[in-house]
Chain A
Amino acid sequence: MNDLTNFFGYVFVQRAFFAGSFIAIACSVLGVFLVLRKMSFIGDGLSHVSFGSIAIGLFLGIYPLFVAIPLVMLASILIVKISQKARLYGDAAIAVVSSLGIAFGVLFASLSGGFTVDLFSYLFGSILAISASEVWISVILSLLVIGAVIALYWDLFLTTFDEEYALVNGVKVSGINIFLALLTGITVVLSVKVVGILLVSALLIFPAVSSLQISKTFSKTLVFSAVFSVLSVCLGIALSFLFDLPSGAVIVILLALCFFLAFLYKRMRNSV
């Protein structure tokens, strides 16, 4: 009990819970749209671009997230444009941009003298080491993403459910698609701090697919997705601190557990 009181008393733990919860909500909400649009791998692709961008930032001595946010947003637009203009499927466009991101990452990591401790912390996440300024950046950008999804909720809903009808209904579909890609770019960079580059797509995809197992309306899908995400992130932070485990990996394992439980619940419900 005393351990637990001490645990919540640490400022770095409070920061991790605060920033982690906001990032978790932004990721989970956006993830639902990505999964339903068959764009699950965009998170993975953009995380590779964030690897390249962070390596560039470390090489140039600039705060890596300041380099990563604009470059990853640019890459997200590039993915949308390549799939439109080059008439490629989305997954091929993601693969093109993603491999370029890794290539730049390896190149600049090598120019910086190999894989440093800094770069490793971005690869595997370090939410417990989040600084005060990073907390505020994360909270502000997460609120921006959540606010944008709320403001464009029905346009996002209709373009995801029936894109052709949305066009006929006067929705600016291409604008919505680019906006969604930009929001995904921001979210991916934020997730890097929580679970690391290698596990970013888990934070976007797992809550959504878990929620889709059990939800009966779209609004509930978003709510359940956020609940799964926040629970996994907060519990993951606590367990990783108490048992001295890597936080990113623990969070992803908890997210997978949520999916498994939601899947079992659905099977049981359907068999009754």
Chain B
Amino acid sequence: MNMCAHTMKAILAHNISVHLGGKCIVENVSFSVNQGEFVCITGPNGAGKTTMLKALLDLVSYSSGEIFFFGDSLASAVHEHKIGYLPQKNATINQLFPATAEEVIISSLVSAKDFPKQVTKKERQLSDRAFQMLEIERLKQILFSELSGGQQQKVLLARALAHDPKLLIMDEPSTALDPESREEFFSLVKTLNIQKGTAVLIVTHDMDYVGRYANTLLVLDRTVRYFGNAEAYLVKHNMTHHHDYE
């Protein structure tokens, strides 16, 4: 593949197939995310959306294909702090862990460093900036487990953004949010996307928000059913506001 073309893309996934337990979950999926683009992955339950995302992040192994981040490997992009990740709410987080919101963000910043992994003024400043960006400074010293669902999601978004990544990857970030928090959340991500040029790749069921915020849509049902302009797809399929894929 042409490496010059790769460097233009935040993500370039080519012919990705994932098999789990002998079953093909994702088959020959190819797509790309340009820098500054807002891409939504959607599709029915069991379509392989989260598996595709996990394959991108090397959380599940893919049986064939190639993935490039900014023209390079995932490890390199992670090492250069180019990727921010917001996992599915409550999927993997230990809710009994007695960490303050600030410790959650600092842990992400420091663990990404080379040894010796010590907290310096820089990490404190980056953490403070992330809290300020999302206007949640008041939550800094509160235990993560004592925050509401919406507040927790904001802290996790602050964690994903603390390194000022060029690409933000999110898996169903709005599932646990009430409609008001959901609106606020998507609006915030879109602002970052426009103002900072952060590329966004998001797995979601909320077609309402896809229509309003995404440039590009990837409809997945094991294979790629559609990949292109989000608005064109929604108009063609008569999907407007308040319409979920399900």
- Other-chain residue from B85, B92, B97, B115 in contact with A36 (beta carbon distance below 8 A): B97
Find chain A residues with CB under 8 A from B111 CB: 154-155, 157-158, 166, 169-171
The CA-CA distance from A158 to B93 in the complex, in Å, is 10
Q: Which residue of B lies closest to A211 (CB)?
A: B98
The CA-CA distance from A102 to B115 in the complex, in Å, is 40
* Contacts A37-B94, A162-B94, A169-B112 supplied; 18 other A-B pairs, CB < 8 Å: A36-B97, A154-B110, A155-B111, A160-B97, A162-B87, A163-B92, A166-B111, A168-B58, A169-B85, A169-B108, A170-B111, A216-B100, A216-B143, A217-B99, A217-B143, A218-B97, A218-B100, A218-B103
User: Judging by beta carbons under 8 Å apart, are B96 and A170 in contact?
Assistant: no
Q: Which residue of B lies closest to A155 (CB)?
A: B111
Find chain B residues with CB under 8 A from A212 CB: 96, 98
User: Judging by beta carbons under 8 Å apart, are A162 and B96 in contact?
Assistant: no
- Other-chain residue from A36, A157, A165, A171 in contact with B103 (beta carbon distance below 8 A): A157
A154-B111, A155-B111, A218-B99 given; A170·B117 CB < 8 A: no
Shortest Cβ distance from A115 into chain B, in angstroms? Answer: 40
A166-B111, A170-B75 given; A161·B59 CB < 8 A: no
- Other-chain residue from A162, A169, A215, A216 in contact with B92 (beta carbon distance below 8 A): A162
Taking CB atoms and an 8 Å cut-off, the chain A residues in 54-91 that contact chain B are: none
User: Judging by beta carbons under 8 Å apart, are B98 and A215 in contact?
Assistant: yes
The CA-CA distance from A217 to B85 in the complex, in Å, is 24
User: Judging by beta carbons under 8 Å apart, are B87 and A170 in contact?
Assistant: no
User: Judging by beta carbons under 8 Å apart, are B92 and A155 in contact?
Assistant: no
User: Judging by beta carbons under 8 Å apart, are A162 and B117 in contact?
Assistant: no
The CA-CA distance from A37 to B97 in the complex, in Å, is 9
- Other-chain residue from B96, B100, B117 in contact with A155 (beta carbon distance below 8 A): B117
The CA-CA distance from A165 to B57 in the complex, in Å, is 10
The CA-CA distance from A200 to B157 in the complex, in Å, is 41
Shortest Cβ distance from B90 into chain A, in angstroms? Answer: 11
Find chain A residues with CB under 8 A from B83 CB: 168
- Other-chain residue from A170, A217, A219 in contact with B78 (beta carbon distance below 8 A): A170
Shortest Cβ distance from A51 into chain B, in angstroms? Answer: 31
Shortest Cβ distance from B74 into chain A, in angstroms? Answer: 9
Is B241 on the interface with A (CB-CB < 8 A)?
A: no
B contact set with A: CB distance below 8 Å: 57-59, 75, 78-79, 83, 85, 87, 91-94, 96-100, 103-104, 106-108, 110-112, 115-117, 119, 141, 143, 159
Q: Which residue of A lies closest to B114 (CB)?
A: A170
Find chain A residues with CB under 8 A from B110 CB: 154
Is A137 on the interface with B (CB-CB < 8 A)?
A: no
The CA-CA distance from A221 to B116 in the complex, in Å, is 23
- Other-chain residue from B93, B98, B112 in contact with A221 (beta carbon distance below 8 A): B98
Q: Report the count of interface residues on A (CB-CB < 8 A).
A: 28
Find chain B residues with CB under 8 A from A118 CB: none
Q: Which of B92, B98, B100 has the most CB of A within 10 A?
A: B98
User: Judging by beta carbons under 8 Å apart, are A168 and B100 in contact?
Assistant: no
Is A167 on the interface with B (CB-CB < 8 A)?
A: yes
User: Judging by beta carbons under 8 Å apart, are A168 and B103 in contact?
Assistant: no
The CA-CA distance from A36 to B85 in the complex, in Å, is 23
Find chain B residues with CB under 8 A from A221 CB: 98
Find chain A residues with CB under 8 A from B159 CB: 165
- Other-chain residue from A37, A161, A167, A170 in contact with B107 (beta carbon distance below 8 A): A161
User: Judging by beta carbons under 8 Å apart, are A160 and B85 in contact?
Assistant: no
Q: Which of B83, B96, B107 has the most CB of A within 10 A?
A: B107
Q: Could you list 30 examples of A-B contacts with CB < 8 Å?
A: A36-B97, A37-B94, A151-B115, A154-B106, A154-B119, A155-B111, A155-B117, A157-B99, A157-B103, A157-B107, A158-B107, A158-B108, A158-B111, A161-B97, A162-B92, A162-B93, A164-B87, A168-B58, A169-B108, A169-B112, A170-B75, A170-B78, A171-B111, A216-B98, A216-B100, A217-B100, A217-B141, A217-B143, A218-B97, A218-B100
The CA-CA distance from A166 to B110 in the complex, in Å, is 11
Find chain B residues with CB under 8 A from A158 CB: 107-108, 111
Find chain B residues with CB under 8 A from A167 CB: 57-59
User: Judging by beta carbons under 8 Å apart, are A165 and B87 in contact?
Assistant: yes
Find chain B residues with CB under 8 A from A163 CB: 92
The CA-CA distance from A151 to B118 in the complex, in Å, is 8
Taking CB atoms and an 8 Å cut-off, the chain A residues in 126-177 that contact chain B are: 151-155, 157-158, 160-171
3 nearest interchain CB pairs? A164-B92, A154-B110, A170-B78
The CA-CA distance from A166 to B107 in the complex, in Å, is 9
Shortest Cβ distance from A60 into chain B, in angstroms? Answer: 40
- Other-chain residue from B96, B108, B116, B143 in contact with A165 (beta carbon distance below 8 A): B108
User: Judging by beta carbons under 8 Å apart, are B78 and A165 in contact?
Assistant: no
The CA-CA distance from A155 to B107 in the complex, in Å, is 8
The CA-CA distance from A161 to B94 in the complex, in Å, is 5
